[in-house]
Chain A
């Protein structure tokens, strides 16, 4: 029951905001609903037992003839992504407070609608439901980006939309295939786990799902929609995309790919690892010379996500746990970075690093918070980024030493592009444009301080977070090994 509240509260909020809110009350309503949702999520967390079981399950028959059920539930892995969604959404809404969006009620309703879609994805235990959530999360973000975005928004979003839809069609084919193979004639995840498919079948299913997930994350070379989309989207859209939505792909791999087709994963993991690690280095190198800070962060995100993917495909405890922590940490850090850039953009009208400089002198609060977020991004020990990256790099190193060493270049390259852009934006003397910059205030402080606090708390004491998903990850690995070794 609690879980239904969790999923439908944002939906109710979306409808209420769309219908009843006015231009000036829409953000307040949306913020209130997102905070309620966060409260519900925290309530669930308090009742959650950190073992491998699926909790708060709800299972209703939906379309009996097709074997489709409204089946949702939460285990440790879902819990992390639910927290991610519900912690970030209020922050994203609050971060948009200084902007006046046209048709604000529609804008905020779409954000809440998307939240509901995301929560459905992260809790669905029925493949059809998962697919509905997957597409339901895409629709609002498409409208957010295409309606409130910047220059070229229609063209850029068309590409984004067609690309991701094309990916998910492959996944739909995969789901239908699994459904047809399923003697129980339903879309239940638990039944899919039991399927005995030969390795050719598994290979096909693997690629059908993987392409959808790889486009969403995105993994090299499926990433070219991402920098344009991130750059043209309105900032809340960019934050939703980078902070939460891309984790759908990661979550999908963990929940729907690894345990369903472990042989497919095993057969193709070397290819994926290679692509992921190439992406880590390639995107980091591209980030070096970006003039537009938003685009730089977009490429850095590809680099970081590549490492998460690589860690997952090591099929190791450290890799998976690292990916769980890093999903959350990356979400926190990346919306922090985009928010800082939004503050700069909205005050000065530019994100071009060459036009900026000296902001630290006039805006010390921004300088400090930006620096802390940056340190999280470059994975300094004591920040959230370190916990995830350390575990991920260690797992990749254990998978293959040289691959680990190449992926490890991220800690050097990350420092290069982040500190370069920090220097160009914040350090040096102010110029005519930046001299009258006003330091952060009001809601900006609330958002940035919260993000900084999360970065440090998770970095210093990650134990509770690691514990949430530990048993579920362990269970998942046992499940996979069980299927791989074929012992019953």
Chain B
């Protein structure tokens, strides 16, 4: 059944895209929502069926070949899918969370004029995301990889009449393209080395190479550059916070739960290659840790609720890369899973808050919403506890698995990780306290209209809250007597990780430290934002240098502008006005002028009229024809 029906999983959302795209102006909102959500639900149900079939099957890999896509010389790229334990889980995340977010969107986007267009784009995104995880080679993966980038562009710029939103969309696409070049170059090199781009052919060959091989290191770095673009790591992460210009369900689905984890998926998928490149792994670990820390520092002072969550996402993605870098592939993937639950939940919760406050996103104008938005508050609190790493919520297990491996690799990396965990707990509770505690700080008019969101929005919140609470059960470590179900499951996809050689006392100590850090952070946030009821200062008010650095995102956008964008634009003008128009064209015109001057003596023969020349040519051709005719005669 898997091999014969697998194509349906991505094709159903594609069908939804086509129907909703064509019928966006004619279909009723109910029909659009029904079709848009229905196709994703159908895909989800198929994914569940296949999942159970896979778990009961001895064979853990199914390849489905459709047709030769590009076939030139020794380069053969079939359009084919690979269904294995890794893609099985990804399918469940994408279609499962995707479905919840579609349902949520039917209410959230209900008043929007572009309702049909929105669902069409959302379906298209699901389609490309499924292609990304189903591809059996790097190029099919790349179709999805760039396709989700396109959908991200379309959805960030969904309200395109706002020029800054359109700019954010463009920035996302371009930053992703920088990564994509790395990805492509990595693919080219891989083809040179292995003569194929099929996972099934590349990995067995790679497994035979010696660890520390230079080529593997370069392939790894190039692929990692691709991952940095898509998964928003240093130095390419600045597009993700701007991407919050898109509607909130988009932020939840694309910029938290699914697309941005594509880089982690890709590296976990290629773990064989990365295991052979310790140098590259170190780079990944360091970049991941640095991104986690810097993004967390920026999140401390943000005042826009979505921006806090965006930086939090960047920071959590950094965690996952830290995990990949220290060889904890299953740990990182576990975090992808739990993060998808709690971050989708948090974004959707933030969306519910924004929805109820008539598009207010600034936390300085919120406060005291706890009583009025009970479900939203309760579910978001669960998500916040989960991300803060408090046991037994899901984030605790996945985060601590990464931290334990980081410790084994280098205590410094572990230290950065724990510091980030401390900051995470602080800024997340800061967000919760500023939003839900104290007194309402917005206008009186808004306050009167605060209301809990409709069921279509709250039910997905509840479902996600349950998952965020218990998701950790999927991979309970041995130290708690668990059996690490997820890790075992993923060995079927050849994703394994280095063995943890810490004794149980060390493991418990490490956990204790990180939980303690989180608890201290929560208490600090409580005393600052609840007890002292502090509110972040207005934009005009003076800030300390450190606050400024954080609030202005370490001025990274300004730096990139100054060292990349502006010089390139200056080069553009210089190349155009000077090199092209003056130097090269000057030379060409100079040659023409010289010829002209030099031939003044011959002027009597030449009229300088192009029409005249052409006439002479025609006469010449006619003469030739005549000559032929006469010679035949």
Contact = CB atoms under 8 A, between A and B. Distances in A.
Nearest to A288: B572
Contacts of B188: 393-394, 397-398, 404
A412 B177 contact: yes
B170 A381 contact: no
Contacts of A474: 73
A428 B576 contact: no
Given A162-B592, A412-B174, A463 B67 contact: yes
B457 interface: no
Contacts of A470: 72
Interface string A138-175: 01001000100000000001110111010000000000
B146 interface: yes
A317 B71 CA distance: 11
B575 A135 contact: no
Interface string B448-476: 00000000000000000000000000000
Contacts of B390: none
Interface in A374-403: 375, 380-382, 387, 390-391, 393-394, 397-398, 401
B172 to A, nearest CB: 10
Given A64-B631, A397-B188, A381 B146 contact: yes
Contacts of B178: 412
B170 A466 contact: no
Contacts of B161: 358, 361, 427-429
Interface string B559-592: 0000000001101110110011100110011001
Contacts of A135: 617
B181 interface: yes
B157 interface: yes
B513 interface: no
Contacts of A224: 580-581, 584-585, 588
A318 B181 contact: no
A404 B189 CA distance: 11
Contacts of B163: 423, 427-429
A67 B118 CA distance: 67
A401 B146 contact: no
Contacts of A466: 70-72
Given A398-B192, A412-B174, A412-B178, A289 B576 contact: yes
B160 A321 contact: no
B621 A132 contact: yes
B572 A423 contact: no
Nearest to A378: B177
A411 interface: yes
Contact of B146 (A221, A285, A380): A380
Nearest to A419: B170
Given A288-B568, A381-B146, A419 B173 contact: yes
A248 interface: no
A62 B191 contact: no
Contacts of A132: 621
A72 to B, nearest CB: 17
Contacts of B112: none
A394 B75 contact: yes
A71 to B, nearest CB: 15
Interface in B130-165: 139, 142-143, 145-147, 150, 153, 157, 160-163
Contacts of A321: 72-73
Q: How large is the interface on A (under 10, 10 to 19, 20 to 34, 35 or more residues)?
A: 35 or more
Nearest to A360: B160
Contacts of B170: 419-420, 423
A408 interface: yes
Nearest to A380: B146
A381 B79 CA distance: 12
Contacts of B275: none
A381 B147 contact: yes
Contacts of B631: 63-65
Interface string B320-333: 00000000000000
Nearest to B618: A139
Given A393-B184, A408-B184, A286 B572 contact: yes
Contact of B572 (A161, A285, A360, A397): A285
A462 B74 CA distance: 17
A408 B70 contact: no
A45 interface: no
B572 A289 contact: yes
A416 interface: yes
B181 A412 contact: yes
B628 interface: yes
A157 B609 CA distance: 12
Contacts of A268: none
B142 A142 contact: no
A405 interface: yes
A426 B613 CA distance: 45
Nearest to B627: A63
A430 B154 CA distance: 19
A290 B627 CA distance: 52
Contact of A382 (B143, B167, B579): B143
A463 to B, nearest CB: 6
B592 A462 contact: no
Interface in B587-633: 588-589, 592, 610, 613-614, 617, 621, 624, 627-628, 631
B69 interface: yes
Contacts of B192: 398
B173 A415 contact: yes
B18 to A, nearest CB: 12
Contacts of B162: 428
A416 B177 CA distance: 9
B501 interface: no
B575 A462 contact: no
A298 B331 CA distance: 50
Interface string A329-365: 0000000000000000000000000000010110000
Interface string A282-300: 1001111110000000000
A320 to B, nearest CB: 9
A32 interface: no
A427 B166 contact: yes
Contacts of B181: 405, 408-409, 411-412
Interface in B158-208: 160-163, 166-167, 170, 173-174, 177-178, 180-181, 184-185, 188-189, 191-192
Q: Which of B73, B157, B569, B573 has the most CB of A within 10 A?
A: B73
B68 interface: yes
Contacts of B177: 411-412, 415
A290 B592 CA distance: 27
A461 interface: yes
Contact of B68 (A146, A316, A426, A463): A463
A218 to B, nearest CB: 11
B569 A288 contact: yes
Interface string A45-86: 000000000000000001111000000000000000000000
Contacts of B145: 381
11 contacts: A62-B628, A146-B610, A282-B575, A285-B572, A321-B73, A381-B139, A381-B145, A397-B189, A405-B185, A427-B160, A428-B163
Given A135-B617, A390-B184, 9 more contacts: A62-B628, A63-B624, A63-B627, A159-B592, A316-B73, A318-B72, A411-B181, A427-B161, A463-B67
Interface of A: 62-65, 132, 135, 139, 142, 146, 157-159, 161-163, 165, 221, 223-225, 282, 285-290, 316-318, 321-322, 358, 360-361, 375, 380-382, 387, 390-391, 393-394, 397-398, 401, 404-405, 408-409, 411-412, 415-416, 419-420, 423, 426-429, 461-463, 466, 470, 474
**4 interchain residue pairs of minimum CB distance:** A317-B73, A288-B572, A427-B166, A289-B572
Interface of B: 67-75, 139, 142-143, 145-147, 150, 153, 157, 160-163, 166-167, 170, 173-174, 177-178, 180-181, 184-185, 188-189, 191-192, 568-569, 571-573, 575-576, 579-581, 584-585, 588-589, 592, 610, 613-614, 617, 621, 624, 627-628, 631
